[in-house]
Amino acid sequence: MEFKNLKELMTYLKDEDVCREYYAQLRWGGNPTCPHCNAPRPYKLKGGKLYRCSDKTCKKNFTVTVKTIFEKSKIPLATWMGSMFLITAHKKGISSCQLARDMGITQKTAWFILHRIRYIMGDPAPEPLENTVEIDETYVGGKFKNMHLDRRKKYQELNMDNKVGIMGMLERDGKARLTVIGNSSWKDVIRENVNSSALLMTDTHLSYQGLIYEFAGHTTVNHSQGQYRDGMTYTNTVEGFFSSLKRSIYGIYHQISPKHLQQYCEETSYRYNTRKITDKERFVNSLSNADGYRLTYKKLTQKL
């Protein structure tokens, strides 16, 4: 399929059969396998849409959307795919209101689509970051003035900081990752995401001290002393990356609950990590991941 933009894509995906065929090729490459037991060569039942597993103990029926993010939704595949193109092509993310207007769907449907597509934007098996890695932390949320009075009172009574800490880690000229810090220590977050062969660059915060003994190198800039660059040592790139996360959260999504924050982090990282490929490549890449989220399947299909 040749297309460069949404209009050409939608012209090609003119009906459900074309969409199914296209996705079946991408998912199975002409050799359908049972999504329940991975058995090859299922029977094709009449009508063409339905398959039956040829394994004697399985024998289950399935379609190409079983165990994908498209499963159990009445939304046409063309709407899914068009939305996927729009969502992944937008450099700063797209709100459910905007997606609803662009695709001619209700906001509720748009919200549902966004939620599911966001799940496949994360890298299920990320490689540790390498080479020169800038690391910094930031906090999001905590805008009490925008909060409902009852909730604000509750937070203030508990003396609880409504902010959530996020660790940003970014390879210079490479990949980036954002992780909600949660209950882990900063060092544990870094250990989980960065290869010990890397050269780390951070500010002089105490929580980063000692990393030099575990990694190939660790240089710092002293932000509290007004120092932002020392030769090749700086964290400006990762700080810029935080800005795009915050622009998405405050500018496009307005407010998000802490429980969804990691998903927004994944989405921002995804956009950054695919910045050098075309919109079409990004679309095909995302669509190929539509069945690659089995670990979170249960979570995904629970009632939203």
Which residues of the chain form contacts with Zn ion (CB under 5 A)? Answer: 34, 36-37, 39, 53, 55, 58
Residue number with CB closer to Zn ion (51 or 85) = 51
Which amino acid makes up residue 209?
A: Q
Q: State the minimum distance, in angstroms, from the CB of residue 205 to Zn ion.
A: 53
Asked if 146 contacts 161 with a C-beta cutoff of 8 angstroms, the reply is no
Which amino acid makes up residue 244?
A: S
Residue 86 to residue 108: CA distance in whole angstroms: 17
Residue number with CB closer to Zn ion (53 or 194) = 53
Residue number with CB closer to Zn ion (43 or 139) = 43
Angle at 86 between CA 81 and CA 90, to 5 degrees: 150
Residue number with CB closer to Zn ion (59 or 280) = 59
Q: State the minimum distance, in angstroms, from the CB of residue 42 to Zn ion.
A: 7
Among 135, 127, 128, smallest CA distance to 217 is for: 135
Q: State the minimum distance, in angstroms, from the CB of residue 153 to Zn ion.
A: 54
Residue 66 to residue 72: CA distance in whole angstroms: 8
Residue number with CB closer to Zn ion (37 or 212) = 37
Q: State the minimum distance, in angstroms, from the CB of residue 67 to Zn ion.
A: 11
Residue number with CB closer to Zn ion (55 or 102) = 55
Residue number with CB closer to Zn ion (60 or 152) = 60
Q: With DSSP H G I counted as helix, E B as strand and the rest as coil, what are the percentages for the chain, rounded to 5? A: 45, 15, 40
Q: State the minimum distance, in angstroms, from the CB of residue 32 to Zn ion.
A: 11
Helices of type H across the chain: 6-12, 16-28, 77-89, 96-103, 107-119, 149-157, 186-193, 236-246, 261-273, 279-288, 297-301
Among 217, 185, 233, 223, smallest CA distance to 203 is for: 223
Q: State the minimum distance, in angstroms, from the CB of residue 297 to Zn ion.
A: 16
Residue number with CB closer to Zn ion (60 or 115) = 60
Q: State the minimum distance, in angstroms, from the CB of residue 57 to Zn ion.
A: 8
Q: State the minimum distance, in angstroms, from the CB of residue 68 to Zn ion.
A: 16
Asked if 204 contacts 220 with a C-beta cutoff of 8 angstroms, the reply is yes
Residue 228 to residue 221: CA distance in whole angstroms: 6
Among 10, 20, 17, 23, smallest CA distance to 104 is for: 10
Residue 126 to residue 283: CA distance in whole angstroms: 20
